[in-house]
Structure 1
């Protein structure tokens, strides 16, 4: 494994680990936000899903050189 692929693997592991940690606490976050506003809870859930795909989309664009 060269430096380029090792760095990509480390970055992917950190991203997945971070999102996994947030996903673990997501039910607690959603219940807390749902008490304030169900609409706010839905927006946070949608942003979480979009952020998951957005991070990898941005990384692919950076690697491609666009």
Structure 2
């Protein structure tokens, strides 16, 4: 495994661990937010899902730029 591939795997694992940690606590967070506002709870869920894909999209874009150089 070359350093570039290893760094990409480590970054992906960190991202997955971070989002996995938040996803584990998601029901608790949603219930707490839902007590105050169901709209806030829904927005939180949408931002979480969009954020997950956005982070990997940014990584892919950065790697694609690095490959061109």
TM bucket, shorter chain: over 0.9
Which TM-score applies when normalising by structure 2?
0.93
Q: What is the root-mean-square deviation in Å for CA atoms of aligned residues?
A: 1.1
Unaligned runs of 5+ in 1: none
> Partner residue of 1:24?
24
Unaligned runs of 5+ in 2: none
Shift of 1:15: 0.3
User: What's the CA shift string for 1:36-63, capped at 9, x where partnerless?
Assistant: 0000000000000000000000111111
Which TM-score applies when normalising by structure 1?
0.97
Shift of 1:65: 1.0
| Runs of 4+ with >2 A deviation | none
